[in-house]
Amino acid sequence: MKTLVLFLSIIITTTMVAQSDSNIPYYELPEASENFTAGTVAARQIDALGFRFYHATDGLSAKDLDFKPSDSVRTTAETIKHIYDLSKIILNSTLKKENTKEAVKLSFEAQRVATLNNLKQAADILRSSDDISQFKIIFGESQIPFWNNINGPIADSIWHCGQIASFRRITNNPISAKVNHFTGTVKK
C-alpha cells in the first residue's frame, strides 16, 4: 500500500511540475465576482493569497530558498513548505475532509504548483457556495468554524508571503516591479 501511495504521489508530482506556467493559477487575479456573498468574499481573499504566493515564489533561486536572516527563523524553503501545509488545511475544509499528516516530500516547484492549485480549488468551491459555515477545519474529532480559516491559515499564509518577498529583497532577487498587488495584474 505504501508503495502504491508513493508511486501515485510521484506521478501526480511529475504531472504538476510538467505543467507550463500558463496552466498554473494566479499569475493574475481572476475576474472579481459581480455579487458580494460570504463565499465570493472568502474566495477573493484566497485568490489574493494565491496571487501574492505566485509572485513571491516565482523565480526563486537555490540561494533564495536557503536564505534565512537568523538561526531562529525558517528558511524561505521551509516557509514555502509551511504555506503548502496551510493550503492543504484551507482546501480540506472546503472538501470537508479531515486534516492528516502527509509523509510525501515534494520539491520546491511541486510544492509551489500544489499550493497554487490547492488555493484555486478551495476558492472555486467557496465562490459557488451560499453557506460557507459548512466548511469547517477538521482535526480528528474537532470541527473548527470557517472563521478560523480566515484568521488562521489564510492570514498566516499572507503574512508568510510578505516574509518571502522581504527575504527575496535581501538576496537581491526582488519580486518583479511589473506586479501590481492592488489590481492583481502584471504589466506587459
pLDDT digits over 85-132, tens only?
Answer: 999 999 999 999 999 988 889 999 999 999 999 999 999 999 999 999
Q: Which residue has the higher pLDDT, 10 or 76?
A: 76
Q: What are phi and psi of 186, to 5 degrees?
A: -125, 125
* pTM score: 0.87
Q: Is the pLDDT of residue 18 over 60?
A: no
The pLDDT of residue 102: 82
Q: What is the pLDDT of residue 104?
A: 82
What pLDDT is stored for residue 21 in this prediction? Answer: 62
Task: Give the up-direction half-sphere exposure of residue 96: CA atoms within 13 A in the CB hemisphere.
Answer: 5
The confidence band for 19, taking pLDDT boundaries of 50, 70 and 90, is very low
Give tens-digit pLDDT for 53-84: 999 999 999 999 999 999 999 999 999 999 99
pLDDT the model gives residue 23 = 85
> Mean pLDDT over all residues of the chain?
90
* 22 vs 26: CA distance, rounded Å: 10
Could you say which of 1.10.1040.10, 1.10.3720.10, 1.20.120.450, 3.40.50.2300 is the CATH number of the domain covering 37-186? 1.20.120.450
For residues 21 and 124, what is the distance between their CA atoms, to the nearest angstrom?
19
